[in-house]
Amino acid sequence: MIIGGLQKTTLIDFPGKLACTVFLSGCNFRCPWCYSKELVLPEKIINQPIIEEKEFFDFLRERKELLEGVVICGGEPTINKDLPKFIEKIKNLRFAVKLDTNGYNPKMLKDLIDQKLIDYTAMDIKVSKDKYTGFFGACVNVNDIDASVKILKKNSETIEFRTTMVPGVHEKEDFLEIAKWIGGPEIKYYLQGFRPEKTIDPSFEKIKPYTDEWIKDVAKEISPYFKLCQLR
């Protein structure tokens, strides 16, 4: 496991908690619109400074009286087989844990939930279900993505779904398909604007993002499928 970054304080990434965010390097997806290539691409990761695990846990011990939670994101955290042990060490310091995931590893996700190692989960829905194979090829099994969606929908009080809206990748019709797939009376779904900067595929840096008004219109159209659907 490689710790590629640490945001020492966040008020927005863990609902209801003052937290820090730890970034784990490495990802099995290659979303062309991703702007975190230093956490995704091996040739970039190797040139990034690494935070030693001891340094991270020393930081947590120093902040025990200030912070309430730890957000674990990436990259994709669940590619790391030792993630459960890493989270267990965080929980032993009495921090709540939020996991950000692309949903590719439903078995680990279910185990983490069943063992009460994570308190909140945010899953990125990249595209509508029928488009996963076209965008990500054989490296992504859409059945695994769907299994993760079903697992999280059974734990609706402590989860959220979210999508980064990219022109040329997503149209309004896609969000209706996503809503039918992941929606539910207790489900929270957040729509995020695309940032055309430092993308894995440089051509995406030339794309003009959707306006907030356009995103809000989409949210309004699909909101009947959710407890909450809004722009973040």
Strand 159-165 relative to strand 184-193, pairing: parallel
The three-point CA angle 29-146-102 to 5° equals 30
* Residue-level pLDDT at 214: 96
The three-point CA angle 119-122-127 to 5° equals 160
Residues in Cβ contact with 168 at an 8 Å cutoff, skipping those fewer than 6 apart = 207
Note the pLDDT tens digit of each residue in 131-158: 998 877 667 899 999 999 999 999 999 9
Q: Which fold has domain 3-169?
A: TIM Barrel (3.20.20)
| Average pLDDT over the chain, rounded to an integer | 95
Q: Which mean pLDDT values do the consecutive 10-residue runs of the chain (232 residues) have?
A: 96 96 95 93 90 98 96 96 98 98 97 97 96 78 96 95 97 97 98 95 96 96 98 94
Q: Show me where the domains of the chain are located.
A: 3-169
Residues in Cβ contact with 135 at an 8 Å cutoff, skipping those fewer than 6 apart = 31, 126, 127, 169
* Residue-level pLDDT at 134: 82
Note the pLDDT tens digit of each residue in 13-39: 999 999 999 999 999 999 999 999 999
* Residue-level pLDDT at 140: 84
The answer to whether residues 165 and 6 touch, using CB atoms and an 8 Å cutoff, is no
